[in-house]
């Protein structure tokens, strides 16, 4: 793969990650306030609309794009390095596990959206405050591995 295409893949991957992370950090914050709202009230309706748009129009497409561009970068790196053995390194495995955890938290947020949508949210706002920290901690670990450990 020519260098220009690799650079484009990297740029698109970074942009997708930024959009995905913005949603992963903002959606649980909306949930904090939504959990305190009266079911069927004005804020409940507004929050549902905001959450739906954020999840369906930004977060989910950005997650898919992040995975697609990321996997294309992995394939490109294997080509450039001369084989797939480089991915047996602890850093690649750890990064994959952490990205999978990030995807898992995305699905937890999507499941919680369904609870709010149906009016059956059963979590307190405090739980969402804690949940709000997980994507950032995962992002810190992923970036440290990607920048420091993977060369």
**The pLDDT of residue 5 is above 90:** no
CA atoms within 13 A on the CB side of 137: 7
35 contacts 125 by C-beta, under 8 angstroms: yes
- pLDDT at res. 85: 80
- Threshold 0.85, pTM exceeds: yes
Helix, strand, coil abundance in the chain, percent, nearest 5: 85, 0, 15
**The pLDDT of residue 53 is above 90:** yes
Name the band, by pLDDT with cuts 50, 70 and 90, for residue 88: confident
Q: Which long-range contacts (CB under 8 A, 24 or more apart) does 76-82 make?
A: 76/1, 76/5, 76/6, 76/9, 79/1, 80/1, 80/6
Q: Domain total for the chain?
A: 1
**The pLDDT of residue 2 is above 60:** no
Range of the domain at 61: 3-149
Nearest to 90 by CA among 48, 12, 148: 148
How confident is the model over 99-141, as pLDDT tens digits? 999 999 999 999 999 999 999 999 999 999 999 999 999 999 9
């Amino acid at each position: 793969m020519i260098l220009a295409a690799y650079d484009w893949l990297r740029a698109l991957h970074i942009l997708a990650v930024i959009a995905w992370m913005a949603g992963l950090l903002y959606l649980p914050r909306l949930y904090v306030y939504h959990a305190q709202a009266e079911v069927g009230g004005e804020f409940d309706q507004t929050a549902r609309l905001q959450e739906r748009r954020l999840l369906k129009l930004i977060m989910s497409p950005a997650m898919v794009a992040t995975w697609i561009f990321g996997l294309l970068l992995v394939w490109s790196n294997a080509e450039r390095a001369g084989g797939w053995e480089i991915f047996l390194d602890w850093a690649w495995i750890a990064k994959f596990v952490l990205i999978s955890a990030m995807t898992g938290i995305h699905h937890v947020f999507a499941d919680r959206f369904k609870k709010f949508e149906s009016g059956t949210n059963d979590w307190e706002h405090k739980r969402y405050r804690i949940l709000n920290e997980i994507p950032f901690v995962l992002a810190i670990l992923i970036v440290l591995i990607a920048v420091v450990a993977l060369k």
